[in-house]
Amino acid sequence: MAELRTDRLILRRWRDSDLEPWAAMNADPEVREHLGDLLTREQSDASVARFQAEFDQRGYGWWAVEVEATGEFVGFAGLDEVDDYMPFTGVEIGWRLARSAWGHGYATEAALTVLAHGFDALDLSEILAITTATNFRSQAVMRRIGMTRNPADDFDDPTEPEGPLRPNVLYRIARSARI
């Protein structure tokens, strides 16, 4: 799969040089606030191996995000199949950025490009987004890219114990509704 480009970003396959900054992101409590436990270096590296294998199998997945002007790896964005244990099915869009990349509009920019790829290249009819009920920053990105939420679709993540990570919200966008 070719890389995706925006005005400022390159969404590309993962490189070995991404492993160190990716591990640093996964060890950052603020980055992981809505995701659960911090990851060890081994867990972080294993996640990239999974991303690459899934990408090879399906032709889409989680791209590494690089700032074109600097070549800096700043996180990931992409598409994934909804986990089997969720109370719905479909393809989910997501993103995760290093704290240094927050507040620059990168998540929205990457997400709009990923949506276009999902609808135009993959011919998806709908794309979902999931986050914790308290992750207001990600929910703001979801709204900026044209996604909408029906509170009746909100759910408790069956893999999480009682606590702040259990209540989740579900956003959707249909191909016909995209901005």
Q: What is the CA radius of gyration of the chain?
A: 15
Domains in the chain, ordered, with CATH? 4-177 (3.40.630.30)
Q: What is the pLDDT along the chain (179 residues), one digit of tens a residue?
A: 579 999 999 999 999 999 999 999 999 999 999 999 999 999 999 999 999 999 999 999 999 999 999 999 999 999 999 999 899 999 999 999 999 999 999 999 999 999 999 999 999 999 999 999 999 999 999 999 999 999 999 999 999 999 999 999 999 999 988 76
Name the burial class of residue 163, with classes exposed (0-12), middle (13-18) and buried (19+) by CB atoms within 10 angstroms of its CB: exposed
| Per-residue pLDDT at 49 | 97
| Per-residue pLDDT at 179 | 63
Beta strands, E only, the chain = 4-5, 9-12, 62-67, 72-81, 91-97, 126-132, 148-149, 155-156, 167-174
The whole-model pTM stands at 0.95
